[in-house]
Every structure is written in C-alpha cells, then in structure tokens.
Amino acid sequence: MTALLTYCTNLFNNYEEVVAVILFSIGFCILLFSRNLIKKVVGLDIMDTGVFLLLASRGYIEGRSVPIIVDGVTSMENYINPIPAGLVLTGIVVSVSVSALMLSLTVRIYRTYRTLDVDALYMMMSVSKGGKR
Amino acid sequence: MSFVQNFPFFSIILSLLCAVISFFLGARWAKRLTLFLLTSSIVLQSCILSFCFRNHISYAYMMGHYSAPWGNEIAAGILEPLFALLFAVVMLCSVLGGMHRMEQDVFPGKQNFYWIMVDLAHVSLMALCYTNDIFTGYVFIEICTIASCALLSIRESGRSLLAAVRYMIFALVGSGLFLIGVIFTYSVTGQLLFPQLYEAIGKLWAAGTYRFSMTVAIGLMVVGLAIKSGMFPFHFWMPDTYGRATPASSGILSGVVSKGYIFLLIKIIYRVIGIDIFTASGVQTLLLLFGIAGMIVGSVSAIFAKRLTTMVAFSSVAQIGYIYMGLGMGTQAALVAVFFQIFSHALTKPMLFLSAFQLSHASGGRQDFHSLHGAGHRHPVAGCTFTVGALSMVGIPIFAGFIPKLYFATSAFGLGWKTWPVLAALAISTILNVMYFLYTTILIWIPEEEGTHAHIRVKPQAGTVFPAVLLAGFNLLVGLQSAGLTTLFTQGMDLFCQ
Amino acid sequence: MLDKPKLDPEFSSIWTLWKNGQIDLTGSLRSPGHQDPASVKSVEKYRPRRDRSAFSHYVQKSNHLYNILATVLCVFFACLMLMTVANLPLYGDPNAPTVNEVAERYVEKGTEETGAVNTVAGMILDYRAFDTLGESFVLFTSVCAVTILMNLSSKRQHVKHTKESINYADDMIVRGVCRFLVPLIMVFGIYILLNGHLSPGGGFSGGAVLGAGLIIYAMVWGEEQASRIISARLIKTVVLCSLGFYCVAKSYSFFTGANHLHSIISPGTPGRILSAGLILPLNVAVGFVVCCTMYSFYMFFRRGKL
C-alpha cells in the first residue's frame, strides 16, 4: 500500500515527465494506427517532441535560472543543468532533418502511386510486380 | 603520444571533408575521391590495428582540450580498428562491384550524391566503431540512418521508395527508443562517456537504487539498436531494403550498416553496462530467445521467397539471429563466435548480393527461380562466387561460415538450460539453410538446354567480377586461417571488456 | 483502378519448385527435348491465385490482428514508461544524479575556459564539440538526401506543377509589410547568430530565423525571383565554405587538444562580442549551414530545384 502511495506521489511529482511520456505514447499510437503516410510522419514528430520534453525536463532544478552567467556569478547554486539543453538542441536538429527526408519520400511515393493509404500501397506492392520504373 | 594514435580521428575527419568536397564536384571526381577515401581508410585502420596489436594497448583519444567526463572522446583498442578495417574493406568491395550497375540505377545528375552518401555512411560507421561517448553514438546512428535511406532510395523505383519509407519508420522508432534509453541512463547516472557510465552503473546496481529504471533503460537501448539492425520481430523492413536497392547499396546496407549498429550494441553491453549487470537485468535471455526465433523464421521465410535477392535478404534475418543468439549466451567464447559471425556475414552477404545481381543480369534481368535455371553456366564467375557464398552460409568447413557455427556449438555447453535450445536451433537452422542455399546453387548449375535465356552468354569483365572474387578470397582466408583471428579477438576482448 | 493481378506462373519460390520436383538433378543426364509432362502439368495447376477481393479480405483480416497487437503494444509501452518515470529522480531535485561534477564544471569554469557567457554554447561548441560537428553533418546529409529525392531539374519526366494563381507581390498589404519585415527578420537572425556566446541563441536558432526570412522572401516575390538572387551555386558555395571551415577549425582544436599541444585560440575577455575563441565563427558557420538547409528544403518541396 505504501509502495503504491510512493509510486503515485512520484508520478505526481514527475508530472512533466508523465506528460512527455503520454505525448510519446500518443505519437506512437498515431504511427501504429493511422493508415495515412503523412499522419505517420506527424506521429513520428510527436514522438520526437515527447522525447525532447522528457530530456529537457531532466535538466530543470527548482528555483534556478537559465545557465547564462550574469554578473560574474558562477556558482552552480544559481543555474540549472546545461547538459540536457545542449542534447535537446542536437535532438531537434536531427528531428528536423529526418522529417524533411520522410516528407520528401512521401511526396515521391504520392507522385508514383497517387495514394498515401498504406493498405492501398501494400496492395499494389503485392499484386503488381514492382512499381513504375 | 604516438602519431599513429591520431589515425582514428584522421579517418573520421577525412571522410567528413571528402563528403563536403564531393558536394561541389561532378560524379566522376566524387567517385575518385570516395575510392581514395576508402583505400586510405583501409591503410589508416591497418596502421592503428598493427600499432595496438604490437603494443597491446587500448587508449582513449580526447576530442578537444577537455578530459574524460567533460569532453568528447573516442577510443581504440584492437577490436575497434579491426572492425573498422572490415567495414572499410567490405564497403570498397561492394562499391567497386556495384559500380557498373550505377549507370542504370542512378540518374547521372545524382551520382555525385551517391558518393557523398557512401562517404557519410563510412564516417558514421567509423564513428560508431570508435566512439567512447553514448550521445556521439546517437548522432552518428542518425547520420547512418539517413545516409542508408538515401543509398536505398536513390534508385527511385516505386518499390525502393516504399522500402525506404518502411526502413525509415522502423529505424526512427529504433533511434527514438535508443534516445529514451540514453536519457533514462543519463538521468540516473549523470554521465555520458563509456568509462564513467560503467562506473556509475556498477555503483547504482550495487546500491540497488533506480534498478527498475536502469533495467528499462538497458532494454530500450538494446531494443532500439536491435530494431535498427533487424532482429527477428522487427525484421519486416529487411527483405525489401536489401532486395530492392542497387547492388552496391545492397552490399553496403546488408554487409556493413547493420553490423555497425551491432558493434555499437556490443560496446554498450560490454563497456557501458557490463556483462554481469546485463545478465542480471534479464534482457540477455530475451536476446537469446529472439535470436533463436529469428534464425528459424528467417530461414523459413527465405524458403518461401520468390525472388533470388529477397531470398538472400531473408537469410540475413537468420544470420542476424545467430549474432543475437550469441549475445544472449553471454560468455566470452560466445562473443568470439559472434565476432566470427559478424566477419563471415559481412564478407559473404555483399558477395552473395553482387553475384545474385550478376546472375539475374545473365538471366535477362529476371530474378525468379525459373529464369535462373542454369545461370551459372551463363556467367561462370558469378556462379562460382555465389556458390562460395552459399557454401559459406550453410557452414561447410574451409569457408568462413563454418567457424562461427563451430564456436557457437562448442560454447553452448555448460550454459545450463540454454544449451539445448542453442544446439537445436543451430541444427534446424543449418538444415533449413541447406534447403534453400544448396537448392539454389544446384539450380543455377543445372544446364538448361532450351530455355528463354539459354543463348545468353555474359562475358565477365574483370572490373565487375573482381570485387566478388576478392570477397570470396577473404572468405576462404577467414575460413582457413581462423587461428590468427581468434588470437586477435581474444586479445582484443581483454582490452575491450573492462 | 487495378486490373486483374498478373502473376506469373513461373514466379514461384524455392519451396514450390522443391515440392513439385522441379529441381531435378538428373536433368542434365537426360537427352534434350525429353521432358516429363506430369511436372509441367503440376506447375500449371499450382498457380498462386490472388484476386483482388480475396486479397482485400486477407488484408482486412490481418489488419484486425494488427490492431489488437498494436493496442497491446501501445498500452504495454505506455505503462512501462510511466512506471519508469515514477522511478526516476524527482523533477527539479537539486540533488539529482545529473547535478554532478560535469554540469558543475560547465557552469562554474565554462566562462573562464571557453570564454562563452552562455554555458550551453560553450558546452556544445567547445566541451562536446564532436557531437555538434556530427549534428551539422546530419543536416548536410539530409539536404543531400532531399536533393536526391526531390530534385527535378535533372529528371527525365518533368512533373508538372500546378501554378499558384495568387501572386502575393501584387498585394499591397503583403508586399508593404514584407518589404519592411524581411530585412528586420534577417537582422534579427544575424543578431542571434553573432550573440550566440553571450545570450540565448546561437548558430541553430539564428540560422533558422535567417532561413525563415529567406523563405518569406521566396514566398512573396516568387521562387524564380528568389533563385535568381540566391542561386544554387551560391548555396553550394556557402555550405561548402561553412562546413569546410567547421571541419578544419575543429580538427585543429581536436588535434592540439588530444596531443596536448598549445592552441593559439584564446577565450578572450568573456562578455565581449569578439571573444570566446572559435565559438563565434563556428556559430556563424553553423548558422549559414542551417539557413541554407531550411531554404533548400523549402525550395525543393516548392519548386523541385534550387
């Protein structure tokens, strides 16, 4: 019982991470259940956003400010952890590049097959040998 | 510090520079630059390997002015340059072997981008081999993913685009899971570099705090990399990806890229998590089970495959299954077997793809098994290399594929309940391999008297068949001289596993 | 839309061949022309049939299974992640494991060692510069990949574009506002770029703002006009110079650092605009790369060429 209580308290305290995880799961659901390729790409992006929120929230420290040195005060007591911020920056850049690539693939598939529905694409793949060349 | 110790860094920076310069060059010069890069990379890796082997050292190399927990690092021992060398050799051979098909498959205006992508795939593989920092690992995983997607989709046929989308979706889910694993690990340890992580995880595990998070983090990292390298339940992207690309890309993707992820995974298991904690976390058993399942399912799917390259691609699923089974066994002997498996697969699969494409070229460009009747007589050299590859995959002695099977079998004893599943899986998988590979081999060698393609005689050109022959030579070399490699592997593991 | 499936009777797997005794080792021994009629018949009988309705039925059925499996997977995954989150260090905890000597040194010594007041800039461009080098190359890789997929200038069949009928440049309000806004956005982007080591911002955000400015310009005054001013060659040159400079500069600093040589790059006086050693030029280089990347993405999606 106490274990469950601690568990719930922890969940409540880590609310930002909980939101991030829920966001990730939403993205994952869209990726799995949506039949449209564009929506799948959107789902991937939402997943990435969830990951970045999780990472960013890991750097926060209660009552401290952004890690930009003001007035020569360099004590760690005043600033939050800069590492997750740097990692998120990298992650965002990766996510942008990947979405651009996915979208351009989607455009090309639409131009070739004139549909974005995964089932229809799968059908064309299995029934006719190869696409247009 | 000896000058040779700079070479890992040189090989990375050199390929970055080559990629950027190729952006400005035409296709012809980009090609020359890439070939130069791959050759010089082979030379550089050999130097590092011989240096580390002679002095029996492994060292960390600071990328910048700041030492271990603060700055980025790369590390080299014996295993890292050895695998980097393997990757460079296989890439060079695949590229050389698939070059003649490039004119057909890649539009001339885009050929220089193909070479840029080869450069970038090369740099990411080098970085995956040498990295000593888990986040650097993530960044270069992404470069590798994008570059391999481009290598696949540059053929621009409808099927290869669909294969690319499927590959990207799987790969992105994989890297997302890997990143979450890294975040969890970071938030309970506060470190990103391998040695510091190893220490911190050991302390955490001993203290018993955050054990659940750590287990999940280990699971996520392993599953992420497993998805990207095509472990059994996540192998759906594999057949189309390998079977629909242009031959050079097929060789690179099947032989090298998935092995890069697997090498990073081995590094993470042995240098970040530590094998004891990995065993205790229970993820190891999962790897064993999925590896065994992959061996069987991959082979069965290969039997039902309708095209030659699809069949070869499905056999990759089985071969990757062997690797994961070995990682799931978790002993040093099994790890040696895993290294041999990586070697034999990386040397054999590109060869099989190259010769399969040449055989289908000799059958009027068709890939179904009826048309391939007697293809070995139409293109004897490709037939021979295909036969060597098939025999190696089946595990006939004197070929490279025999050694890992032998080592897996010997290391399976004394593992408790794991012994029998491993031995049974090895036996069943070998029988299945025999079914499809030997039948295909026999099929291509049965002379065909009056078929549609009987009149075709391909005159093998030295440039196109040479790489496959070279790979076949390496294959035989590994199969015959395995003692030397075993020494390298065991000595490397002493330096590698902390 | 789809005609009847055309499946080759010859299109069969090894399994089929094997089952039907097609792989016959004695084939070469027999005299030519003599073929077993039974085997031919069995091939024709064994023709994989896959007409469309049966196929869609099969797809529907497998979709059903897929939905169940996917739901299970989603629920399992979400629960697993929630449990893990409950087992993480608390949010905002000053004693979390992440607040250790690494973060401390970045904050406390960062300004002194790198010269950057913005510790995040100091961290990503000096302490952990190799990651950031990789990151810029992710952008480069994806530009090349998008070029491969979307470049129409060298394609055999030219895909026709539906021309947009709205010409924004003729609209007085849009033109007037943009004539005022685009330079402002560009100046703001340059400001963010140049102050990356002093204030929030840096190469990536500044580059994104610059790219947005260029994209607005191209949207309003038309892609042809934009590509006349910002030619493909110019973009290529800028990317080449920026990434080349980035590689060379960083390899100098990596090389000197690893070999414990003295580096001529000094952090300078923290707080000045011309300080922080390599961070300022690197920010500018990264900014150019990001700007060109964003702009090329837009142009490739919109026009098919730069």
Q: Do A101 and B146 touch (CB under 8 A)?
A: yes
Residue of higher predicted confidence among A80 and C28: A80
- Angstrom distance (rounded) from CA C139 to CA C300: 15
**B146, A131: Cβ pair inside 8 Å?**
no
| Local confidence band at B436 (pLDDT 50, 70, 90 cut-offs) | confident
How many C-beta atoms surround the C-beta of residue C122 within 10 A?
31
Using an 8 Å CB-CB cutoff, list chain B residues near A40.
Answer: 169
**Is C46's pLDDT higher than 50?**
no
Q: Which pLDDT belongs to residue C161? A: 53
* DSSP assignment letter at C118: B
Which position has the higher pLDDT, C172 or C269? Answer: C172
Contact by Cβ (8 Å): B154, B117: yes
Structure confidence at residue A79 (pLDDT): 86
Residue of C137, C154, C253 for testing the chain B interface, max B β-carbons within 10 Å: C137
- As a whole number, mean pLDDT of residues B252-276 equals 91
pLDDT for res B140: 94
Chains touching B by CB (3 or more pairs below 8 Å): A, C
pLDDT tens digit sequence for B341-391: 999 999 999 999 888 888 888 887 777 787 788 888 888 888 899 999 999
Q: Are B218 and B198 in contact (CB under 8 A)?
A: no
Q: What average pLDDT does range C299-303 have in this prediction?
A: 85
- Residue A88 falls inside a structural domain: yes
Give the pLDDT confidence score for residue C48 in this predicted structure.
Answer: 45
pLDDT value of position C160 = 52
Residue C38 pLDDT greater than 70, yes or no: no
Quick one: average pLDDT of C27-36?
Answer: 42
Is the Cβ pair B153, A105 closer than 8 Å?
A: yes
CA distance B185 to B135: 11
Q: Quote the pLDDT of residue C37.
A: 40
Contact between A112 and B149 using a beta-carbon 8 Å cutoff: no
Other beta carbons within 10 angstroms of residue B413's beta carbon come to 11
**Residue A38: domain span:** 2-62+76-127
Q: How far is CA C23 from CA B71, B373, C273, C284, in A?
A: 61, 9, 78, 66
Per-residue confidence (pLDDT) for residue B452, from 0 to 100: 65
The residue with greater pLDDT, C55 or C302, is C302
Q: Rounded CA gap, C290 and B447, in Å?
A: 59
| DSSP for residue C46 | -
| B286-332 tens-digit pLDDT | 899 999 999 999 999 888 888 888 888 889 899 999 999 999 888 88
pLDDT score of C157 more than 60: no
The mean pLDDT of chain C is: 78
| SS3 call for B450 | coil
Top residue of B1, B10, B20 to mutate, by most chain C CBs within 10 Å, is B20
DSSP string, C182-242: HHHHHHHHHHHHHTTTTSS--HHHHHHHHHHHHHHHHHHH-HHHHHHHS-HHHHHHHHHHH
Q: Do C141 and A100 count as a contact with CB atoms less than 8 A apart?
A: no
Q: How confident is the model at residue B42 (pLDDT cuts 50, 70, 90)?
A: very high
The answer, for B180 touching chain A at a CB cutoff of 8 Å, is: yes
Q: What is the pLDDT of residues B44-93, one digit of tens each?
A: 999 999 998 888 888 888 888 888 788 888 888 889 999 999 999 999 99
A68 belongs to a structural domain: no
Confidence band for C31, pLDDT divided at 50, 70 and 90:
very low
Which residues from chain A sit within 8 angstroms of residue B134, using beta carbons? none
pLDDT surpassing 80 at residue C4: no
Least confident of A97-111, C19-33, C189-203: C19-33
Minimum CA–CA partner of B181 in chain A: A51
Interface contact A90, partner B, CB < 8 A: yes
The predicted pLDDT at position B227 comes to 92
Could you tell me if C287 and C203 are in contact, meaning their C-beta atoms sit under 8 angstroms apart?
A: yes
Tell me whether residues C127 and B70 touch, CB distance under 8 A: yes
pLDDT above 90: residue C274: no
- State the nearest Cα–Cα gap between C138 and chain A, in angstroms: 6
Position B378 scores a pLDDT of 83
In this complex, the residue of B149, B161, B187 whose CB is nearest that of residue A58 is B187
Domain boundaries, chain C: 107-155+166-303
Q: Measured between alpha carbons, how far is C306 from B495 in angstroms, rounded to an integer?
A: 50
pLDDT digits (tens, 9 = 90+) for C102-138: 888 888 887 778 878 888 888 888 888 899 999 999 9
The domain total for chain A is 1
* Confidence tier at B450 by pLDDT (50, 70, 90): low
ipTM greater than cut 0.90: yes
- Average pLDDT of C231-256? 90
For the residues C44-48, what does the mean pLDDT come to? 42
Please state the rounded mean pLDDT for residues B464-492.
Answer: 88
pLDDT in tens, A39-63: 999 999 999 999 999 999 888 888 8
Closest CB from A84, A94, A121 relative to B162: A121
Mark yes or no for CB contact C102/B146 under 8 Å. no
- Separation of alpha carbons B333 and B490, rounded Å: 9
Question: What is the predicted pLDDT for the residue at A133?
Answer: 34
CB contact under 8 A, A31 and B146: no
What are the pLDDT tens digits along chain A (133 aa)?
Answer: 788 888 888 888 888 889 999 999 999 999 988 888 999 999 999 999 999 999 998 888 888 888 888 777 777 788 888 889 889 999 999 999 999 999 999 998 888 888 888 888 877 776 654 433 3
Confidence check: pLDDT of C220 > 60: yes
- The pLDDT, as a whole number, for residue C18 is 65
Question: Rounded mean pLDDT of chain B?
Answer: 88
Chain A residues with CB under 8 Å of B169 CB are: 31, 40, 44
